[in-house]
C-alpha cells in the first residue's frame, strides 16, 4: 500500500463519489479471474485493489469525524501493525 495513492484516491472519493471506486474494485476483482494473467500482473491488480480499499476505509473514518490526516495516519498505523504481527 502506498500512502500517496490512498490519499489521492480519498480525495477523488471526496470530490466525486465512493461508488466509482467500489465499482472499479469490483471490476479489478473480476479481472483477477482471467486464467492467462501472469503473477506480476496479478500483483499489480492486487496492489491497486488494496489501495482502493484503503481509500474507502480512510473516507469512512473521515465521515465518522476524523480529520483526513488523522484518518490516513490511523489507517497506515493499522496496516503497519498487522504487518509486524
Residues of the chain above pLDDT 90, percent? 80
pLDDT at 81 over 90: no
Place of cell 469525524: 65
Cell numbers at residue 24, please? Answer: 472499479
pLDDT at 85 over 70: no
| Mean pLDDT for the chain overall | 92
Rounded distance between C-alpha atoms, residue 52 and residue 5, angstroms: 8
pTM greater than 0.85 (yes/no): yes
Rounded distance between C-alpha atoms, residue 25 and residue 31, angstroms: 10
Q: Tell me how many degrees the CA angle 2-30-16 measures, rounded to the nearest 5.
A: 55
pLDDT at 84 over 90: no
Model confidence pLDDT, tens digit, residues 32-71: 999 999 999 999 999 999 999 999 999 999 999 999 999 9
Full residue range of the structural domain in which residue 23 is found: 3-84
How many structural domains does the chain have? Answer: 1
Q: What is the DSSP string of 17-35?
A: -HHHHHHHHHHHHHHTT-T
- Number of CB atoms found within 10 A of residue 82's CB: 8
> What was the pLDDT predicted at 5?
94
Amino acid at each position: 500500500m502506498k500512502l500517496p495513492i490512498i490519499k489521492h484516491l480519498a480525495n477523488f472519493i471526496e470530490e466525486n463519489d465512493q461508488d466509482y471506486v467500489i465499482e472499479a474494485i469490483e471490476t479489478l476483482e473480476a479481472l483477477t479471474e482471467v486464467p492467462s494473467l501472469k503473477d506480476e500482473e496479478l500483483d499489480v491488480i492486487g496492489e491497486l485493489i488494496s489501495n482502493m480499499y484503503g481509500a474507502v476505509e480512510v473516507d469512512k473514518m473521515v465521515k465518522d469525524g476524523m480529520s483526513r490526516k488523522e484518518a490516513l495516519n490511523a489507517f497506515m498505523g493499522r496496516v503497519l501493525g498487522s504487518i509486524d504481527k
